[in-house]
Amino acid sequence: MSESKLPEHPSLEFLKKLAKERLRSLRRADPEAKLARALLAVARDHGFPSWRALKAEVERRESSQVGEFVEACGKGDVRRARRMLAKDPTLARAVVPGRPHEGWTVLHEAARRARANIVRLLLEHGADPNAREAGDNTYPLHWAAANGNLPILRALLDAGGDVHGAGADHAGDVIGWATMSPETGKNLRAVVDLLVERGARHHIFSALAVGDPDLVRSVVERDPAALARKLSRFEHGITALQLAVVRKRDDLLDLLIELGADLEAEDVHGQTALAGALSLGNESAARRLRAAGAKPPAVLASEDFRERAASLAATAKKIIPMIRVRDVAASLDWYASIGFTELGRFGDGGEVNWGWVGFGGAQIMLSLREDERATAKGDSSVILWIYTDPVEELYRLFKARQLAAAHARLTGEADAPSTIEIVHDIDTPPYGGREFCVRDPDGYELFFRRGA
């Protein structure tokens, strides 16, 4: 089989066009000729035994070429990227291979990585500033706003980028990505000013994040329903009142109470602003909310708690330790070499960062070590995963104990129950199931999980 007739950068669309032209030619002699016959003829013209083989080779070359282009863009190598675009301008709109989200373009990647020169180069060659990726449903502009990168924001907006960006999964538009992201940093005010100058409008969360009481008041006067608006499930569906608690802005908390915010509004976990304040140890906010009439958490007697916890403990199926390692792929290979069975691995961007091995009925999970050994809160080198079906009920029980203990401390009760530190509220992770995490007094994390 010869591939010499294929150009260096073959186009599948061009080959399909050739096949349609060939079909028209075939039908002049045989009106019943099918497209499959024309596709086969084009494949053989290019030295391939079938259309499937030709298509596979073209896709392999395209993937390799796109991979090289993405690498050049990721490194900020403008010269190399420009040379590749000169040969194939369609690379400017290429979708990045290996990304977890369909439709993640090289422009998204350049904006996320803050490669301003690459962004400008891609836009010069026809990259679409309003391309959507299917994961968070974002434009490249959302990522530039989250990074607080003014040159990239200007370039994307000048190229016709949609300053509003409504519809992204993190409900807050582009201005929300700018104001809610910790990475915006010292550029926050300049980024917000630019977005507003180009037509963006503040909502209640961006106004709160900016920290301007007058702006918060004006947003509510314009739209009283803003007080009931909630952020997305990724931010646990919190209200503006709950965000003020998280941000520890007592002045804004008082203002929202004055404006009529619902003190009993709940997030996706059924947690009110007062419950959030107690969970975070924000006693100042908790006192303000209690003074405003917020209902205290229900109290569960210690003996009742122990009885229910014991009942739920009987449902635990297994416990799996997860250990931190320097190189997950190498560790998986080592365990396999001594008789363990690899049960799974997961990676991002070519790096394996999670693995799972079994030895008979015993199992170990492996996770990439992010530090030498410990966090400021305690040891993080080992995490325990406890599998149980009634994980929702267990979470509610532990949460009730956490809130009861915090409220008892707030009110100065002598008989305060022991607390439970919940470090990750219950959620549905990308790999499925339901889970939450608590931390013991020595800093070890325990994940309670429903799922395989």
Q: What is the pLDDT of residue 74?
A: 84
Same domain, 384 and 426: yes
pTM here? 0.69
CATH of the domain at 418: 3.30.720.110
Same domain, 443 and 377: yes
Tell me how crowded residue 229 is: count the other CB atoms within 10 A of its CB.
Answer: 15
The closest of 292, 262, 261, 294 to 278, measured between CA atoms, is: 294
Residue 74, in any domain of the structure:
yes
Same domain, 254 and 379: no
Residue 86, in any domain of the structure:
yes
Q: Which of 75, 94, 113 is the last residue of a domain?
A: 94
Cβ-based neighbours of 30, under 8 Å, separated by 6 or more? none
Residue 363, in any domain of the structure:
no
* Cα–Cα dist 164/156, whole Å: 13
Residue 71, in any domain of the structure:
yes
Q: What is the pLDDT of residue 181?
A: 84
Same domain, 314 and 389: yes
Q: What is the pLDDT of residue 100?
A: 57
Same domain, 27 and 86: yes
Which helix or strand (DSSP H or E) is residue 121 part of?
helix 116-124
Same domain, 309 and 398: yes
Cβ-based neighbours of 446, under 8 Å, separated by 6 or more? 383, 384, 386, 437, 438, 439, 440
Q: 285 lies in which domain range?
A: 218-291
In Å, the largest CA–CA distance within the chain is 97
Residue 355, in any domain of the structure:
no
Q: Which of 72, 94, 116 is the last residue of a domain?
A: 94
Same domain, 314 and 275: no
- Burial of residue 318, with CB atoms counted within 10 A of its CB: 0-12 exposed, 13-18 middle, 19 or more buried: exposed
Please give the structure tokens belonging to residue 119: 């962004």
Same domain, 306 and 432: yes
Same domain, 321 and 238: no
Query: How does strand 445-450 pair with strand 434-439?
Result: antiparallel
Same domain, 320 and 405: yes
Cα dihedral 239, 242, 244, 247, rounded to 10, equals -120
CA distances from 201 to 26, 197, 218, 293 (A): 59, 9, 12, 33
Same domain, 1 and 89: yes
Q: What is the pLDDT of residue 351?
A: 79
Give the mean pLDDT per block of 10 residues along the chain (452 residues).
58 82 88 88 84 76 74 89 90 78 89 93 96 91 94 96 90 89 84 95 93 95 95 90 95 97 93 91 93 86 84 92 92 92 81 90 88 50 92 92 84 75 88 90 90 74
Residue 161, in any domain of the structure:
no
Same domain, 373 and 276: no
Q: What is the pLDDT of residue 374?
A: 44
CATH of the domain at 272: 1.25.40.20
Count how many domains the chain has. Answer: 3
Q: Which of 94, 114, 130 is the last residue of a domain?
A: 94
Residue 422, in any domain of the structure:
yes
Q: What is the pLDDT of residue 66?
A: 80
Residue 13, in any domain of the structure:
yes
